[in-house]
Amino acid sequence: MLKWITLAPLIGAIICGLFGKRIMTVLGQKSAEKVIGLIACASVAISTALAFIVFFGREWPVVKGKPQITEHFFTWLKIGSFQADFAYLLDPLSGVYILFVTGVGLLIHIYAVGYMHGDPGFYRFFAYLNLFMFMMLTLVLADNLLVLFVGWEGVGLCSYLLIGYYIRRQYAADAAKKAFIMNRIGDFGYTIGMLIVFVTFGTISFVEKNGVQGFLEQAASRPVEPLWFFGVMTAIALLLFVGATGKSAQIPLYTWLPDAMAGPTPVSALIHAATMVTAGVYLTARCSAVVVKSPTAMIVIAFIGAMTAIFAATIGLAQSDIKKVLAYSTISQLGFMFLACGVGAFIAGIFHVMTHAFFKALLFLGSGSVIHGMHDEQDIRKMGGLRKYMPITFATMMAGWLAISGVPLLSGFFSKDEILWRTWSTEALPPGWGQVLWLIAAITAGLTAIYMTRMMVMTFWGKERFGHDHDHGHTGEGDAHDHHVKPHESPAVMWIPLVILAVLSIFGGYVGVSPALSSLVGVHSENKFEHFLEPAIAKASGHTTTAHVSAQAPAAGTHGAATVATRQEAAHEGGHDFGVERFFTLISIIIAVLGIGFGFRFFNRNPLWQPPRLLEEKYKIDEFYDDTIVNPIEQTSRFVLWKIVDVKIIDGFVNSLARGFAGLANVLRYTQTGFARNYAAVILIGAILVIGYFGFVALR
């Protein structure tokens, strides 16, 4: 059923794209929205149902000790020794992805029916959204790098179409082009990395095909390269990571994501928070067998992730557009995920991908509900006191806020705490690196709690500011704003998905509770999420997983009540016992509580706090790129490549050649008089010359 998981939304996209305008013409806006919304949502609902059936419905086949299901459609390319099949692979990693991609995607589709109500391009929006679902599912189910690249480019195309959905707005068009071009920069690295994979391993398939081992299996048997040695494994890992930095908005290719908020809010939730931007993390985890063979690549990935996390968090602290706050938060959380991959905790990174999909989709959709209720206002400085007008939106967003801040027992707490602990205790990096990166991540976690609290306080608490004008810039989705209209709660079609996502944000993290935390309540079991993903993820050198450790530990209750000391002695993880891990969990809790407490107290008293100008202007990175890259390229193209190379050299040569032939023609045209006697004379003269020539030759 793998093909139907992807084909169902593709069929929906085709129907909406080809016949949507006709349906709207025949039925009218209101009736057509119901039909188109039903088609779009039903196609994703079918995909979601099939994904859950495939995932939970039966025992997966085990191939070489790894559970996986493959479905071959056709041989796409076969050139010499190169063969690329269009085929899908379902294993624990892609299985987790298709569950939350389809599940969260369905909720966002339902929400979008209400959010896009009355939009004249309703059918076009859902055609793009369905097409994105097809491409994203193709990306995660691909069984080789080339099919993955089809989905990779496809989601980039859909992102371009949806960011620039409001075709009459210049800023949306500019944001779409920016996203497309910056992703192409990253994709160049992906392409070169894929070519090196084929040259090195003779295949680009993840699994064995036609008796040839997949490149991941071959990579697993290779030795670990020395630190700071730029061998072939380092080259592949770093080139693929270049692609990941573009798609997942990491330094230096992150600047497109905040501008992408020019698209409708459901797009921000689905593409730029829950699914597409995590494709880079998926690629890194999928190719973990290559990454772990290069300590150099792991250090680079961890460092870039940590720097992106804290860098984006400081910018998010100073933003006033509610969607821009969430955009920089997304960049920061993606940095956490790459930090996890860089320290060898790929599974912790994927765990955070899943929980982040829940609470960040909730927060984006909640922000859309606020924008809808505030009549297209996005500036949180013009809000305040909205909780009494929008109680459901407030309650659900509060769950997302507390989850992303790391409040205990919510989903974000478990995944973020796991990343922090893995960073501190990593043995995959040189000594000291883990502790430094942990400090950066801990500071980032505190900043996250502060700026998310600022957003909530300025939106839902304090005095109402939406009836007053402030001299602030605004780049909202709407074209007109009436600040004197009373805010209102969104319709049920919009808040029901919020409620479901709120529940997932609260309870979604319990599938990945670590043994150190579960044993606190007397449940001594392995990390189920980690144990499930283990077969699909490579282990970094010197890195031991909790699932592996707990499997070696004695089962609770087997021989009566074991002492705490015995359990901790059996639970050593990379040299640390459960007590140390719990201590760092306590630190994480303190950071979250202090961050929320400080943010609530400070911004309740100073809702219109003026942040440092440098942060408000985002460190002027866009201006720096314009001055050092964009403008020089544009000026070089204009004044060198165009006016000199193209106009003077190329056009000059062609035009000079043309002028030469024109001059020659001007001379020769005098021989064309139109009189027969002149032509006869020329023929006679020619004959005399020919005869004279041969006569002269004969006499010699």
> Other CB atoms closer than 10 Å to residue 221's CB: what's the count?
9
Structure tokens at 529: 């999420």
Checking if the pLDDT of 516 tops 70, the result is yes
Give the whole-angstrom CA distance, residue 103 versus residue 52: 9
Asked if 278 and 357 touch (Cβ cutoff 8 Å), the reply is yes
Q: DSSP per residue over 190-246, as a string?
A: HHHHHHHHHHHHS--BSS-BTTBPPHHHHHHTSPPPPTT---HHHHHHHHHHHHHHH
Question: Tell me, what's the pLDDT at 669?
Answer: 83
Question: Tell me, what's the pLDDT at 576?
Answer: 53
Checking if the pLDDT of 542 tops 80, the result is no
b/e sequence 441-458, b meaning 16+ C-beta within 10 Å: bbbbbbbbbbbbbbbbbb
pLDDT digit string, tens, across residues 141-161: 999 999 999 999 999 999 999
Helix, strand or coil, per DSSP, at residue 559: coil
Question: Tell me, what's the pLDDT at 518?
Answer: 83
The C-alpha angle with vertex 169 and arms to 110 and 135, in degrees rounded to 5, equals 45
Question: Tell me, what's the pLDDT at 549?
Answer: 38
Query: Residue 484, exposed/middle/buried by CB under 10 A (0-12, 13-18, 19+)?
Result: exposed
CA proximity to 623, closest of 332, 170, 255, 257: 255
Question: Tell me, what's the pLDDT at 172?
Answer: 93
Checking if the pLDDT of 565 tops 70, the result is no
Give the whole-angstrom CA distance, residue 213 versus residue 218: 6
b/e sequence 665-685, b meaning 16+ C-beta within 10 Å: eeeeeeeeeeeeeeeeeeeee
Give the whole-angstrom CA distance, residue 144 versus residue 86: 8
The residue written with tokens 């800023």 in the block is: 171
C-alpha distances (whole Å) from 61 to each of 5, 91, 208, 214, 465 are: 19, 10, 15, 18, 59
Give the whole-angstrom CA distance, residue 644 versus residue 121: 44
Question: Tell me, what's the pLDDT at 468?
Answer: 56
Of the listed ranges 24-33, 208-217, 616-625, 654-663, the one predicted with least confidence: 208-217
Query: Mean pLDDT for the chain?
Result: 88
Contacts of 588 (CB under 8 A, 6+ apart): 406, 413, 416, 417, 420, 442, 445
The residue written with tokens 């992703």 in the block is: 183
Q: DSSP per residue over 301-358, as a string?
A: HHHHHHHHHHHHHHHHTT--BHHHHHHHHHHHHHHHHHHHHHTT-HHHHHHHHHHHHH
The structure's pTM equals: 0.88
pLDDT digit string, tens, across residues 165-217: 998 999 999 999 999 999 999 999 999 999 999 999 989 999 888 778 889 99
pLDDT digit string, tens, across residues 221-234: 999 989 888 899 99
pLDDT digit string, tens, across residues 587-614: 999 999 999 999 999 999 998 899 999 9
In single-letter form, the type of residue at position 124 comes to: R
Give the whole-angstrom CA distance, residue 99 versus residue 55: 8
Among 275-289, 529-543, 564-578, the range with the most confident prediction by mean pLDDT is 275-289
Query: Residue 188, exposed/middle/buried by CB under 10 A (0-12, 13-18, 19+)?
Result: middle
Query: E strands of 346-505, at which residues?
Result: none
Average pLDDT over residues 681-693: 91
Question: Tell me, what's the pLDDT at 546?
Answer: 41
**Is the bond leading into 252 cis (omega within 30 degrees of zero)?**
yes
Q: In the structure, what pLDDT confidence band is assigned to residue 485 with cuts at 50, 70 and 90?
A: low
Checking if the pLDDT of 305 tops 80, the result is yes
Average pLDDT over residues 541-560: 41
Checking if the pLDDT of 443 tops 90, the result is yes
Q: Where are the domains of the chain?
A: 170-514+597-616, 619-699
pLDDT digit string, tens, across residues 96-153: 999 999 999 999 999 999 999 999 999 999 999 999 999 999 999 999 999 999 999 9
Give the whole-angstrom CA distance, residue 661 versus residue 180: 45
Checking if the pLDDT of 481 tops 80, the result is no
Average pLDDT over residues 318-334: 95
Question: Tell me, what's the pLDDT at 484?
Answer: 56
Question: Tell me, what's the pLDDT at 181?
Answer: 93
Give the whole-angstrom CA distance, residue 357 versus residue 109: 15
pLDDT digit string, tens, across residues 67-85: 999 998 999 888 887 888 9
Asked if 389 and 496 touch (Cβ cutoff 8 Å), the reply is no
